[in-house]
Structure 1
């Protein structure tokens, strides 16, 4: 059988539509958790977040996060540990919200240890937030769990 231009066009369309259909099927199977559910509320409150970040800038170096052999350790400076305020630590994993972790640190503790079973290896955005009489404070850091 001789291949003419009509057969070439038909082969091209078959290959093209096969590629498009496989691309659509692959796209529908992907996880797209990169945006939070309350995206619009967070956008509306962005100016409040900027004020909180400006107020919290003095505490940026007061929080350290370290990889340990069996987990992750979050340490607070003495000024934060003795302030008598409960802190919330939020490990946000942008690639998969099922691996987000939220912890409460009672007042007076200078740190907390998170067991390695609770965190999956990879990149996290760690936010430590607390409130005082003057308002809310929040320090965010990027961290890679190894």
Structure 2
């Protein structure tokens, strides 16, 4: 059987479209390729943006800002030592860009200037940490990206 050039072009186009559709369906149905790169309540977070900028500038006025370091037990967050730790209140939010099921939030309750996030809560990889806290009704915000 002989195929003319018109039939060959149609076969090539249908083959190419089938190839593309196969990968589109495979990528959209396979959980291995599911990446959540944005948060669920994107528009609400956008409205909070200016307040976050103000909180971050408040943080920069402190003598020492919040810091963190990786230890054998987990992540140790240290609040400024010049502040009274009993008046510090807020939340620590850890955001995993590759999997929203791993995101979690911890309330800040301190017995000294340190807060430990246990190692069992964290998987290896990239995390975004956001510490939204207040001291004597003054809001502060610390954000950083870390690799655990």
**If the TM-score is normalised by the length of the shorter chain, which range does it land in?**
0.7 to 0.9
Q: How many pairs were matched up?
A: 145
Q: Could you tell me which residue of structure 1 aligns to residue 55 of structure 2?
A: 52
Change (3 A) 1:96 1:74: same
- Partners of 1:44 and 1:112 lie apart in 2 by 29
Cα RMSD (Å) of the superposition? 2.4
| 1:54 positional shift | 1.4
- Partners of 1:5 and 1:128 lie apart in 2 by 65
Could you tell me which runs of 5 or more consecutive residues in structure 1 were left unpaired when the two chains were aligned.
none
Could you tell me which runs of 5 or more consecutive residues in structure 2 were left unpaired when the two chains were aligned.
none
**Is contact 1:86-1:105 (8 Å) kept?**
yes
Provide TM-score, normalisation by structure 1. 0.81
- Partners of 2:89 and 2:65 lie apart in 1 by 15
**Is contact 1:85-1:108 (8 Å) kept?**
no
Could you give the per-residue CA deviations for residues 116-142 of structure 1, whole angstroms, max 9, x where no partner exists? 221111111111111234432111111
- Residue 104 of structure 2 is aligned with which of 101, 106, 127? 101
**Is contact 2:85-2:112 (8 Å) kept?**
yes
User: Aligned pair 1:36/2:22, yes or no?
Assistant: no
